[in-house]
Amino acid sequence: MSFLNAEEPTAVDLVTDFGVNVLWHPSLGMELGIDLQTMLWECLLGKKPLDILVFEGSVINAPNGTGEWNRFADRPMKDWLSDLAHVANFVVAVGDCACWGGIPAMAPNPTDSTGLQYLKREEGGFLGKDFRSKSGLPVINIPGCPAHPDWITQILVAIATGRIGDIVLDDLHRPQTFFNTYTQTGCTRNIHFAYKASTTEFGQRKGCLFYDIGCRGPMTHSSCNRILWNRVSSKTRAGVPCLGCTEPEFPFYDLKPGTVFKTQTVLGVPKDLPTGVNKKDYAVLTMAAKDSMPAWAEEDFFTV
């Protein structure tokens, strides 16, 4: 459903401008029942070319490795997935569940869920560490809960136009063009972050969300504040903390009460610090920043 909200390019642009033939989509596909099974078998038998396999959702292996808890088109979904992945030119995982298992793969993981090529940060997943599609590439991961729609369509365009070779993947197989920077990049609250001026309530338009209400923007790889959602806003711009949903460890702290929207601290220092910052430097920086904080750092810049 996030994919259908894409704007640059839109899902319609993929078809009309870039020649993408969407064989099937849960909300768009016309085939049902026997017709859908026939189309899938035609892909497996080479009668219908499968250029790009896009998969969303965790791979459910339970019970006992059979995958019977998640059936699709008269077979366990994982069986379709394995067969289709090996005939597709490219395989793209969309969303946290497909990338690294997501919430279903949290301990104790009763459904034996995993991602396509990762289980959390451990490489391997359902298809195995050494899996490569017919193009020679590993699974291309586009994480997020949900994934930003424009991340999806822009990668599909890169594949369809033969430019995927220009896209560099990071060590988690994420396109660096979207995941080389942090969610904090472009955040309108960066000045508040620098002076340790904190937001204390949801929806406030002043202060940084990192120090009190659990924002993970400084530690999360995403372009949410560069490529805005609906081309308008982001979680932090709306006064809601980033939950780190593009990282394999999401959800953090096992969703225990009082941990998700509250910054966890040890002796007043956040347990999780911005990438590259050690606790000693942080303590020194905090004292200097608060001492030098100007009065306007606590003002609401957005007052009309």
pLDDT in tens, 258-296: 888 999 888 778 888 888 888 888 878 887 887 788 887
**Alpha-carbon span 195 to 198, nearest angstrom:** 9
Q: Identify the band that residue 149 occupies on the pLDDT scale cut at 50, 70 and 90.
A: very high
**Alpha-carbon span 52 to 54, nearest angstrom:** 6
As a whole number, mean pLDDT of residues 53-67 equals 98
Burial class (CB in 10 A: 0-12, 13-18, 19+), 102: buried
pLDDT in tens, 96-112: 999 999 999 999 999 99
> Do residues 11 and 4 touch, judged by C-beta distance below 8 A?
yes
pLDDT in tens, 79-99: 999 999 999 999 999 999 999
| Cβ partners under 8 Å of residue 298, min gap 6 | 197, 206, 207
User: Any idea which residue has 């038998």 for tokens?
Assistant: 45
**Alpha-carbon span 286 to 86, nearest angstrom:** 52
> Do residues 14 and 20 touch, judged by C-beta distance below 8 A?
yes
Q: Identify the band that residue 302 occupies on the pLDDT scale cut at 50, 70 and 90.
A: low
Q: Identify the band that residue 209 occupies on the pLDDT scale cut at 50, 70 and 90.
A: very high
How would DSSP label each residue in 99-110? Answer: HH-TGGGSTT-T
Q: How far, in whole angstroms, is CA 299 from its chain's centroid?
A: 33
